[in-house]
Structure 1
């Protein structure tokens, strides 16, 4: 048996792709921040969804739970219902720590002032034959401030804030009886968001 010859024409002009430099591109890293909502926008949205503080702190609604499955359900529902309030509890603990740690407050003030002056001047700086724009300069100031913040005790403050927030928020979420305030309308809203 003879196999038939197959002839495929592959002639033509081929262009080589342009040479792309591999490695880390700092400009793509700074463009990442445009996709993240700003802190002020996040706080504005949280303020719109905040529950009344009188409802949040109502002591008559603090009750124990009969079993663990109901406790888990209660914690999840409280976290969904009071998430903006919990965010402001966390921010309040951060402000408390900053006011009681003046050295950290001074370092953060200096960093924000340096970034403000960099943004105000808006002149690129040459660093190792690379031009740094204002965003990259602010990132460099932030990175340079990390060792100073560490020496000022910011690591301990950060873990204290995280621990205290976790303790206070989980205590409130575990003992606050959400069933006392949730109606049929808010129940359907909670089931949609969770």
Structure 2
């Protein structure tokens, strides 16, 4: 007694299940971002230790700078990330036109997202997906960001972050260097 189980099975997916999959993908990426951000927040060293001026010494030669930078970047990575984010917020808040450009772009994305929940957005009689509308907003926002000076802000942030982080990392004593300095101080007394 053998059964023939061959044939074509067609599975129709409803529109809601594909929407749920897209939402789940977005939520998962948000969870990963939140976990990474929380991990960085948990690994922040005390700001008093980070900014302790007694632990800053200019190296006597160029030899210890490389290892010192590497060790300090590993040790204070989360602090350096928050220094970078602070510079980003400073630049955005002190540039009113850039603040308006970001608000307009994010506002347009929010409105498109609301319209997309009601149904697909139609432009000139053609239905556009959410990704296509976001792309159109990005293209339309580009001249506004250019006029607001976003390019110079980006390079200023990169330059200021690099300079401040490298100055701190190259002049802040590492844990092993602090111990040797303490031993030398104790011997001279």
What's the TM-score, normalizing by structure 2? 0.69
CA contact (8 A) 1:61 1:180 kept: no
Query: For structure 1, which segment, 125-134 or 140-149, has the greater mean C-alpha deviation from structure 2 after superposition?
Result: 125-134
1:163 pairs with one of 159, 166, 172: 159
Query: For structure 1, which segment, 162-171 or 140-149, has the greater mean C-alpha deviation from structure 2 after superposition?
Result: 140-149
- Residue aligned with 2:64, SS: helix
Change (3 A) 1:38 1:145: farther
Aligned to 1:45: 39
Query: For structure 1, which segment, 52-61 or 41-50, has the greater mean C-alpha deviation from structure 2 after superposition?
Result: 41-50
Aligned to 1:77: 71
CA distance in 1, matches of 2:32, 2:109: 16
Aligned to 1:173: 169
- Residue aligned with 1:137, SS: helix
Change (3 A) 1:118 1:58: same
More helix by share: 2
Unaligned runs of 5+ in 2: 1-24, 180-189
CA RMSD of the aligned region, Å? 2.9
What's the TM-score, normalizing by structure 1? 0.68
Aligned-pair CA distance for 1:129: 8.5
1:145 aligns with 2:145: no
Aligned residues: 153
Encode CA deviations 1:39-68: one digit per residue, 9 max, x unaligned. 544322221211111111011110122333
2:53 pairs with one of 54, 59, 75: 59
Change (3 A) 1:130 1:181: farther
Aligned-pair CA distance for 1:135: 3.5
Aligned to 1:68: 62
- Residue aligned with 1:72, SS: helix
